[in-house]
Structure 1
Amino acid sequence: WAACKALVANGCRVTLLDSLPDPSGGRPFLTPTGKPFEVGQRGFWRDYPNIERLVQDLGLPDRAVWSDFTPSQFWSPNGLEATAPVFGSAEFPQLPSPLGQVVAISRNSVMQLPVADRASLAGLLYAYLDITRDEATFERYDRMTAHDLFIRMGLTKRLVDDFIRPTLLVGLFKPPEEVSAAVAIELLYFFCLAHQTSFDVRWLSGGTVAQTLINPLAKQVTAAGDVTVRGHTRVEEVALSADGGRVAGVKYRQAGQQESVLLEVDACVLALGVKGMKGVVGASASLARHCPELARTSALNGIDVMACRIWLDRYVATEAPSNVIGRFPGLRGAGGTFFMLDQLHTDQAALWGGGDPQGSVLACDFYNASALNTLSNEDIVDLLMKELLPGAVPAFSQAQVVDSFVQRFPGGVTWFSPGSYRNRPPLATSIPNLVCAGDLVRMGEREHGSKGLCQERAYVSGLEAANLLARNGALGRHQAQHPVLPVREDEPQVTLARDLNRFIMEGLKPLGLDSPWVR
Structure 2
Amino acid sequence: GSAGGEDGAAVVVGGGWAAFGAAESLSRNGFGANVTLLDAAPTPGGVAGTAASGGAKIELGIKGCWRHYRNVERMLEELGLPAASRYGPFSETAFYSPRGLEVVAPVLGECEPRLPAPLGPLAYTADRFTDLPYEDRLTAFPLMRALIEFDLDDDTYASYDRMSFEQLCRSAGVSETLYSTFLRPVLVALMFAPPRELSAAAALAVLSNYVLMHQSDFDVRWPTRAPSEVFERWAGRLRERGVGVRGGAPVKRVLTEGRGSDARTVGVELLSGEVIHASAVVLAAGASALPRIVEASDGLCGVPGLRGVGELQTSAVVAARFTKDGAAAPLPYPANVFGGLGGDIAGTFFDIGVLTGAAEAGRVVEVDTYNAADLVGRTDEELLAEARRALALADKRWANAAYEVGSARIARAGSAATHFQPGSHSHTPAMRPRGAPLGVYVAGDLVKQGPAERDAHRGARGLSQEKALVTGIAAGGGAATDVLGVKALTLAPLAVEDDEPHIEALKDAARTARAAGLRLPL
Which whole-Å CA distance do the structure 2 matches of 1:100 and 1:476 have between them? 45
Which whole-Å CA distance do the structure 1 matches of 2:361 and 2:335 have between them? 21
- Map 1:312-351; keep pairs closer than 5 Å: 312-313=324-325, 314-329=327-342, 332-348=343-359
Tell me how many residue pairs correspond in the alignment. 490
Which of residues 394, 399, 406 in structure 2 aligns to 1:402? Answer: 406
- The aligned residue for residue 93 of structure 1 is 113
Which whole-Å CA distance do the structure 2 matches of 1:315 and 1:142 have between them? 46
Q: TM-score, normalised by structure 1?
A: 0.89
1:419 aligned partner, one-letter code: G
Which of residues 484, 495, 500 in structure 2 aligns to 1:475? Answer: 484
- The aligned residue for residue 496 of structure 1 is 505
* Cα distance change, pair 130–480 in 1 and its aligned pair in 2 (3 A): closer
2:365 aligned counterpart, secondary structure: strand
- Map 1:88-167; keep pairs closer than 5 Å: 88-89=109-110, 92-107=112-127, 109-167=128-186
1:274 aligned counterpart, secondary structure: coil
- The aligned residue for residue 416 of structure 2 is 412
The question of whether the paired residues in 1 share the 8 Å contact of 2:250 and 2:270 is answered with yes
My pick for the range that moved more, 231-240 or 28-37, is: 28-37
- The aligned residue for residue 354 of structure 1 is none
2:409 aligned counterpart, secondary structure: strand
1:282 aligned counterpart, secondary structure: helix
- Map 1:107-256; keep pairs closer than 5 Å: 107=127, 109-206=128-225, 208-211=226-229, 213-223=230-240, 225-243=241-259, 245-253=263-271
- The answer as to 2:470 corresponding to 1:457 is no
* Cα distance change, pair 61–170 in 1 and its aligned pair in 2 (3 A): closer
- The aligned residue for residue 69 of structure 2 is 48
The question of whether the paired residues in 2 share the 8 Å contact of 1:81 and 1:111 is answered with yes
Which whole-Å CA distance do the structure 2 matches of 1:26 and 1:309 have between them? 15
1:455 aligned partner, one-letter code: Q
- The aligned residue for residue 448 of structure 1 is 458
Residue 132 of structure 1 deviates from its aligned partner by 2.2
- The answer as to 2:378 corresponding to 1:368 is no
Which whole-Å CA distance do the structure 1 matches of 2:48 and 2:165 have between them? 41
* Cα distance change, pair 359–166 in 1 and its aligned pair in 2 (3 A): closer
Which whole-Å CA distance do the structure 1 matches of 2:355 and 2:269 have between them? 43
2:405 aligned partner, one-letter code: V
User: After superposition, what is the alpha-carbon deviation per residue over 1:347-404, rounded to whole angstroms, capped at 9, x for unaligned?
Assistant: 33xxxxxxxx79521221111112223421111112222x221132224357522221
* Cα distance change, pair 140–159 in 1 and its aligned pair in 2 (3 A): same
Residue 437 of structure 1 deviates from its aligned partner by 0.4
Residue 480 of structure 1 deviates from its aligned partner by 2.9
- The aligned residue for residue 352 of structure 1 is none
- The aligned residue for residue 9 of structure 2 is none
- The answer as to 2:283 corresponding to 1:270 is yes
User: After superposition, what is the alpha-carbon deviation per residue over 1:10-49, rounded to whole angstroms, capped at 9, x for unaligned?
Assistant: 2241111111111154999676536551011101111011
Which whole-Å CA distance do the structure 2 matches of 1:479 and 1:193 have between them? 34
The question of whether the paired residues in 1 share the 8 Å contact of 2:319 and 2:366 is answered with yes
Q: TM-score, normalised by structure 2?
A: 0.88
The question of whether the paired residues in 1 share the 8 Å contact of 2:145 and 2:520 is answered with no
Which whole-Å CA distance do the structure 2 matches of 1:445 and 1:34 have between them? 43
For CA contacts below 8 A with separation 6 or more, give which structure has more relative contact order: 2
The question of whether the paired residues in 1 share the 8 Å contact of 2:108 and 2:219 is answered with yes
- The aligned residue for residue 317 of structure 2 is 305
My pick for the range that moved more, 455-464 or 149-158, is: 149-158
1:97 aligned partner, one-letter code: A
Give the gaps of 5 or more residues in structure 1.
254-258, 349-356
Residue 280 of structure 1 deviates from its aligned partner by 0.6
Which whole-Å CA distance do the structure 1 matches of 2:190 and 2:305 have between them? 26
Which whole-Å CA distance do the structure 2 matches of 1:334 and 1:127 have between them? 26
* Cα distance change, pair 43–515 in 1 and its aligned pair in 2 (3 A): same
Over the matched positions of the two proteins, sequence identity in percent amounts to 32
1:251 aligned counterpart, secondary structure: strand
1:83 aligned counterpart, secondary structure: strand
Which whole-Å CA distance do the structure 1 matches of 2:243 and 2:48 have between them? 18
Which whole-Å CA distance do the structure 2 matches of 1:241 and 1:37 have between them? 43
* Cα distance change, pair 27–450 in 1 and its aligned pair in 2 (3 A): closer
Which whole-Å CA distance do the structure 2 matches of 1:40 and 1:46 have between them? 19
User: After superposition, what is the alpha-carbon deviation per residue over 1:426-463, rounded to whole angstroms, capped at 9, x for unaligned?
Assistant: 10123221111001102624041121100111001000
Which whole-Å CA distance do the structure 2 matches of 1:319 and 1:26 have between them? 29
* Cα distance change, pair 139–481 in 1 and its aligned pair in 2 (3 A): farther
User: After superposition, what is the alpha-carbon deviation per residue over 1:193-220, rounded to whole angstroms, capped at 9, x for unaligned?
Assistant: 01111111001122x2121x22222222
Residue 267 of structure 1 deviates from its aligned partner by 0.9
The question of whether the paired residues in 2 share the 8 Å contact of 1:92 and 1:104 is answered with no
Which whole-Å CA distance do the structure 1 matches of 2:356 and 2:333 have between them? 14
The question of whether the paired residues in 2 share the 8 Å contact of 1:31 and 1:37 is answered with no
Moved over 4 A (4+): 24-32, 476-479, 513-516
The question of whether the paired residues in 1 share the 8 Å contact of 2:213 and 2:500 is answered with yes
* Cα distance change, pair 445–383 in 1 and its aligned pair in 2 (3 A): closer
- The aligned residue for residue 12 of structure 2 is none
User: After superposition, what is the alpha-carbon deviation per residue over 1:238-257, rounded to whole angstroms, capped at 9, x for unaligned?
Assistant: 1111436011120103xxxx
* Cα distance change, pair 287–161 in 1 and its aligned pair in 2 (3 A): same
Residue 155 of structure 1 deviates from its aligned partner by 1.3
User: After superposition, what is the alpha-carbon deviation per residue over 1:473-507, rounded to whole angstroms, capped at 9, x for unaligned?
Assistant: x1356863413211111111211111112212221
* Cα distance change, pair 73–394 in 1 and its aligned pair in 2 (3 A): same
Which of residues 476, 490, 495 in structure 2 aligns to 1:486? Answer: 495
Which whole-Å CA distance do the structure 2 matches of 1:28 and 1:416 have between them? 23
The question of whether the paired residues in 2 share the 8 Å contact of 1:426 and 1:441 is answered with yes
2:316 aligned counterpart, secondary structure: strand
